[in-house]
Amino acid sequence: MKVPHAHQEVMLQVAGLDLELEALSSHLAELQTGAHLDALRTNLFAASSRMLEQQTQLENLQQELRKLEADIELVDKRIELDKQRLSSTSSSKDAEGISSELRSLTARKSNLEDQELEIMEKVEQVAALVEAESETRTSLSIELADAEAALAGDITKLASRISIVKTDRAAKFSILTEEASALFTKKASRGIPVAALKGRDCDACRIGLTSSAYEDVIATPADEIATCPNCQAILVR
């Protein structure tokens, strides 16, 4: 088939743009899955779960603390009451009974206060854990939001690059005659349609031409299509 050499060059450029489009589209599809953000999302989810667990633990401890405080208040009231009874009784037997109860109430109060102290320490420890986890969570959220924004930017840039290449491809393809474009499309459905002859090698299949095949290609007039005997790509020399 006769195709002006300049048009063969255009076919080669279109083939190059098609390869570029293929690479850009597969890169875009990969970015659109957002798979490289999965690790960040997993870490953020784990930090949120840990924080929720610690918060529950903290609430339980605080509830325990409130109960202990109420118990201590109750014991205090009874101690106060017993002290009043002790000061107003005239019976030594009653006084002995009240004193004995006071001793046991004081012991109970001391025991409750020990427990209160222990819980207060735990509250402090768990509250610190909640705060640390909350900071981790915040920084992971920021990191994820930044990565998502960067990803969205990359996707936009890539989509715009694809659109430019497509326009360029369409403009170049429209230069070709109907016959040449039909041949291009037919060959493109089977592999790389057009390639440069690099030395003695076909740039599509990267296989060197035999001496006689090479001589045939070289002998072909410039405005005639020459084809790679291995991969059937149009060879532009």
| 105 vs 205 by CB, closer to Zn ion | 205
| 126 vs 234 by CB, closer to Zn ion | 234
Work out how close the CB of 24 gets to Zn ion at its nearest, in angstroms, rounded to a whole number.
24
Q: Are 127 and 58 in contact (CB under 8 A)?
A: yes
| 67 vs 200 by CB, closer to Zn ion | 200
| 131 vs 224 by CB, closer to Zn ion | 224
| 130 vs 228 by CB, closer to Zn ion | 228
C-alpha 66/C-alpha 59 separation (Å) is 11
Work out how close the CB of 199 gets to Zn ion at its nearest, in angstroms, rounded to a whole number.
13
What sign does the CA torsion over 196, 198, 201, 205 have? negative
Work out how close the CB of 227 gets to Zn ion at its nearest, in angstroms, rounded to a whole number.
9
Work out how close the CB of 173 gets to Zn ion at its nearest, in angstroms, rounded to a whole number.
22
Work out how close the CB of 26 gets to Zn ion at its nearest, in angstroms, rounded to a whole number.
23
Residue ranges binding Zn ion (CB under 5 A): 202, 204-205, 228, 230-231, 233
